[in-house]
Amino acid sequence: MIYFSTNKSSVPVSIKKATLEGLAPDGGLYVPSEIPRFSAPELQLLEEGNFSDIAFAIAKKFIGDEMPPDRLGDLIESCYPFDTPLVRLSENTFVEELFSGPTLAFKDYGARFLARLTGYFASEDNRLITVLVATSGDTGSAVAYGFQGIPNTRVVLLYPSGKVSYLQEQQLTTAGGNVHALEVQGDFDDCQRLVKQAFVDPDLKKKLTLTSANSINISRLIPQSFYYAWASLHLKSAYGLENPVFSVPSGNYGNLTAGILARMMGFPIGHFVAASNANDSVTRYLKDGRYEPKPTVTTLSTAMDVGNPSNFARLRHLYNNDCHAMADDITGISVSDEATRETIRNIFSQYDYVLDPHTAVGFRALETYRTASGSLAPGIVLSTAHPAKFLEVIEEVLGMRVNIPERLADVLEKEKQSTLIGAGYDDLVDFLKHLDQ
């Protein structure tokens, strides 16, 4: 399998080079030369498999012979020692809980796989990889703990000052060791801009081997397809239901892109709802075919506050820039903060189940889609974070205290370690130069 840039101006590369580079030299995102397909007999065999079996089968098709199968199997097993519950709230509605990993967020699935794969490839060349990451919340903590202690790597996290929850900030600033946190005086789009500029800076690339752990890195994106594949097959084997509609809380659109990959690989998925908040650039594109990003708006669902999502370039590539074809598979729905609060209250009242703000956006969008389309298909809402990561919102909306899992409570006792920088590119370069002194 080879990978080429969405900008089509860079030489095609192997999965190793795509992983270690993160962003292509021409500023594009790496995409596979073809989407591997699973045959009907292969899917039937996987129906009885566990999560690791399905993850291995998918990873093997993308990695090929660049890692021995036994090493890949060990890597997968070490990544996912936790469960991926599919919780049934009603006859036709499910929540896939993606927060059982170390940082209680769905980003653990991609970050742990990428960290181990990066470490394996870096050790082959005996070189130091600097992982540069922009985060609006959960990516930072997942990457911090995913890469913590991984040989031949160091991590630099950029997050917007005052625009992530307190618990998220504590997680991403207390890992220590080979992990460094930069508190940027700007928004997430500023953080993302700085990272992208660094990757195409020829002077910086002469001094450092840079890669990314955002979903702009293809090896962060591929493992996110695992839980779509698993849920679609488990829904069929455990409940006799097929072709679900996945409602995906969407910010940088890596999560949704991974779901599209799973569907194109042949897994039984019917449709997608791209659930956005007030940052609705892609939602508007799906309705009228015009992509007009706007400045980021701050909302309750902070990790989705992205005005110009990077992975939209991959989505356009996968659909050959055909907005009508994309809209056939994806319905974009924007959810207000008021509706988010209302959904948290309603779901708790109906099911005694607590949604974090991002999952609430996904749930409300699924309800809106069903009402508008009349769809009777089973629905799966991706629950992207444990509600305890958004204590202030949940306690204000529900008027109750939320139990904090022990591994979250532990980080509250640690001292924040971060460096405050401006939103100018020179501020980032100065910090990176200081790292090597």
CATH number at residue 339: 3.40.50.1100
Quote the domain boundaries for residue 300.
83-105+221-398
The whole-angstrom separation of Cα 219 and Cα 143 is 13
Among 50-54, 218-222, 292-296, 361-365, which is the least confidently predicted range?
A: 292-296
For position 23, what pLDDT does the model report? Answer: 86
Is 301 a domain residue?
yes
Say what the pLDDT of residue 409 is.
86
Distance from C-alpha of 169 to C-alpha of 160, rounded to nearest angstrom: 10
Euclidean distance between CA atoms 321 and 323, whole angstroms: 6
pLDDT score recorded for residue 404: 87
Q: Please state the domain count of the chain.
A: 1
Whether the CB-CB separation of 417 and 183 falls below 8 Å is answered with no
Residue 432 covered by a domain: no
Sequence-ordered list of residues with C-beta below 8 angstroms from that of 360, at least 6 positions apart, any chain: 301, 335, 340, 341, 343, 344, 347
Would you say residue 136 has pLDDT above 80? no
List, for residues 317-369, the tens digit of each pLDDT value. Answer: 999 999 999 999 999 999 999 999 999 999 999 999 999 999 999 999 999 99
> Of 16, 61, 107, 433, which residue is the catalytic one?
107
Predicted local distance difference test score (pLDDT) of residue 437: 57
Task: Categorize the per-residue pLDDT at 185 as very low, low, confident or very high, splitting at 50, 70 and 90.
Answer: very high
Mean pLDDT of the chain: 93
Q: Which range is least confidently modeled, 7-11, 363-367, 403-407?
A: 403-407
What is the pLDDT at residue 135? 86
Say how many C-beta atoms besides its own lie within 10 A of residue 370's C-beta: 18
Say how far apart CA 268 and CA 47 lie, in whole Å.
Answer: 11
Residue 260 has pLDDT above 60, yes or no: yes
Q: What is the per-residue pLDDT for 239?
A: 96
Cross-strand pairs, 95 = 87, 381
- Distance from C-alpha of 277 to C-alpha of 299, rounded to nearest angstrom: 7
Give me the pLDDT at residue 155, please: 94
What average pLDDT does this structure show over 292-304? 90
- In the predicted structure, residue 402 carries a pLDDT above the cut 90: no
Is 409 part of a structural domain of the chain?
Answer: no
Is 310 part of a structural domain of the chain? yes
390 falls within a domain: yes
Q: What is the mean pLDDT of residues 246-270?
A: 97
362 assigned to some structural domain? yes
Task: Tell me: pLDDT of 118 over 90.
Answer: yes
Helices and strands counted in the chain (H then E): 20, 13
Report residue 254 as tokens: 């890596």
- DSSP for 148-190, written as a single string: TT-TTEEEEEEEETT-S-HHHHHHHHS--TTEEEEEESS-HHH
Evaluate whether residue 264 is within a structural domain: yes
Beta bridge partners of 255: none
Confidence of residue 434 (pLDDT cuts 50, 70, 90): confident
Does 107 qualify as catalytic in the annotation? Answer: yes
pLDDT of residue 166: 84
Mapped onto helix, strand or coil, the DSSP state of residue 5 is strand
In a domain, 246, yes or no: yes
